[in-house]
Chains A and B, each alone.
Chain A
Amino acid sequence: MSPPALDTATVALQRTTPADFVPAVGDYFALLKPRVMSLVVFTGFVGLYLAPGHLHPLLAAVAVLCIAVGAGAAGAINMWYERDIDALMDRTRHRPLPAGRMAPGDALGFGAVLAVSSVIVMGLALNPVAAALLALAIVFYVFVYTIGLKRRTPQNIVIGGAAGAFPPMIGWAAVTGQVSVASLALFALIFFWTPPHFWALSLYRAGDYARAGVPMLPVVAGKAETKKQMLLYTFVLWPVALAPALLHATGWLYGAAALVLSALFTLCALAVWRDAGDRAARRMFGFSLLYLFLLFALMAIDRAPGLLAIPGFGA
């Protein structure tokens, strides 16, 4: 007689104790939100690269690793807390917790261990300021954004955006051991970029957020108001994006590119403003990622020694 057939959904329902869950290694990796982490790592690296001073290459790698692990840990704790609403949204219902592949306690423990470890290693290998900033970023993301703001106010990602803005400042502090005006300018760039970036996503995912009861701006104030706010934020980004060049943290190449890219970002927001459908919002979400990536890449290129040795320009 053949053994009884069980489908995976039935097996998931039968899991009652933590020992019943056997998550794959890939599930733990998914908890770290690798796509978000890639941008965090990149901006953290550029902050470290732009900072004045010298850091041993191994310690620089450790600093970037700590930023990545700290961000991943915050993501894991976020997934633990949001497992109820993640199950209601198309975009997130396949994550390890709502899909029933992992016990909630495992995810929380994994995130907490990684968070504490990343801060301790940053403090031991680099300096207390970088470790304190990393701890602040994790605490801000978990307690202020995830637990405090996300389900309560449409300004959740405006204030909560600060958590994602910390990495370049942490990278800078890893080298210099302090917070400077230039590193605050890098923080401000990501802080003011976050609202139009997330609102572009929430415009075409408004149904998801409404179903989960998350008061994103398009759900609470409507799409027209969201589009107006997005446009306003792209105007704010013009001087903010120029600030690193004005503070001499970067050179002429970055300054010129910041103007062009900010103009294109505003044009995207105008297209969203005029578009009754979702197409322009999807395009703006994609461009917003490219915008931030290019700005930080250009900051690094602008500072690379000898790369821009054009006569007449002091790069």
Chain B
Amino acid sequence: MSELALMDDRQRRIRSRNRALLLLLLGVVALFYLIALVRLGVWS
């Protein structure tokens, strides 16, 4: 594998990891929002 291809692969991995982290953070925020709604009896 050439050094150039390895660098591309590295960039691709970093990008996909950042996207996954963003999705995870959004998921956690949504989860806490929904839990709060249920616990407060707004959505029962």
A interacts with B: yes
Residues in A1-21 with C-beta less than 8 Å from chain B:
2-8, 11
A62 neighbours in B (Cβ, 8 Å):
31, 35
A22 x B2 contact (CB < 8 A): no
- B20 within 8 Å of A (CB atoms): yes
B10 / chain A contacts, CB cutoff of 8 Å: 22
Q: Is the CB of B16 within 8 A of A125?
A: no
Q: Report B's interface with A, CB cutoff 8 A.
A: 1-4, 6, 10, 13-14, 16-17, 20, 31, 34-35, 38-39, 43-44
Cβ < 8 Å to B, chain A residues 138-177: none
CA distance A56 to B13 in the complex (A): 38
How many pairs of A and B residues are in contact by the CB < 8 Å rule?
A: 44
Given A22-B14, A56-B38, A6-B1 contact (CB < 8 Å): yes
Q: Is A58 an interface residue (CB 8 A)?
A: yes
On whether the beta carbons of B16 and A6 are closer than 8 Å, the reply is no
B31 to chain A, nearest CB (A): 7
Q: Tell me if B2 and A3 are in contact (CB < 8 A).
A: yes
| Interface size in chain A (residues, C-beta < 8 A) | 20
Chain A positions 25-83 with a Cβ under 8 Å from a chain B Cβ: 25, 28, 56, 58-59, 62
- 15 sample A-B contacts, Cβ–Cβ < 8 Å, listed by A number: A3-B4, A4-B3, A5-B1, A5-B2, A6-B2, A8-B1, A11-B6, A22-B17, A23-B17, A25-B20, A56-B38, A58-B34, A58-B43, A59-B35, A124-B35
Question: Which residues of chain A are within 8 angstroms of B39 by Cβ–Cβ distance?
Answer: 125
Q: Are A58 and B20 in contact (CB under 8 A)?
A: no
User: Do A125 and B35 touch (CB < 8 A)?
Assistant: yes
Q: Does A24 contact B (CB under 8 A)?
A: yes
B14 contacts which chain A residues (CB < 8 A)? Answer: 22
The answer to whether B44 touches A56 (Cβ under 8 A) is yes
- Chain A residues lying within 8 Å of B31, measured Cβ to Cβ, are 62, 121
User: What A residues does B38 contact at CB under 8 A?
Assistant: 56, 58-59
Task: Flag if A24 contacts B17 (CB, 8 Å).
Answer: yes
Task: Decide: B3 and A3 in contact? CB cutoff 8 A.
Answer: yes
For the complex, give the distance between the alpha carbons of A5 and B5 in Å.
10
B16–A24 contact, CB under 8 A? Answer: yes
Bound-state Cα–Cα, A212 to B17, Å:
33
Residue of A nearest to B3 (CB): A3
Q: Which residue of chain B has the shortest Cβ distance to A65 in the bound complex?
A: B31
Q: Which of A3, A23, A25, A58 is close to B35, meaning CB atoms less than 8 Å apart?
A: A58
Smallest beta-carbon distance B36→chain A, Å: 9
A28 to B20, CA, bound (A): 11
Considering the chains assembled together, what is the distance between the CA atoms of A6 and B20 in angstroms?
A: 29
Contacting pair B44 A6 (CB below 8 A): no
* Bound-state Cα–Cα, A6 to B14, Å: 20
Contacts of B43 in A (CB 8 A): 58
Nearest chain B CB to A106's CB is how many angstroms away? 11
Q: Which residue of A lies closest to B10 (CB)?
A: A22
A25–B2 CB distance below 8 A: no
Write out the residue numbers on chain B whose beta carbons fall within 8 Å of the beta carbon of A25.
16-17, 20
By a CB distance below 8 angstroms, the chain A residues around B13 are: 22-24
Q: A2-B2, A3-B3, A3-B4 are in contact. List 14 more A-B contacts (CB 8 A).
A: A3-B2, A4-B3, A5-B2, A6-B6, A7-B1, A22-B14, A24-B13, A25-B20, A56-B44, A58-B35, A59-B35, A59-B38, A121-B31, A124-B35
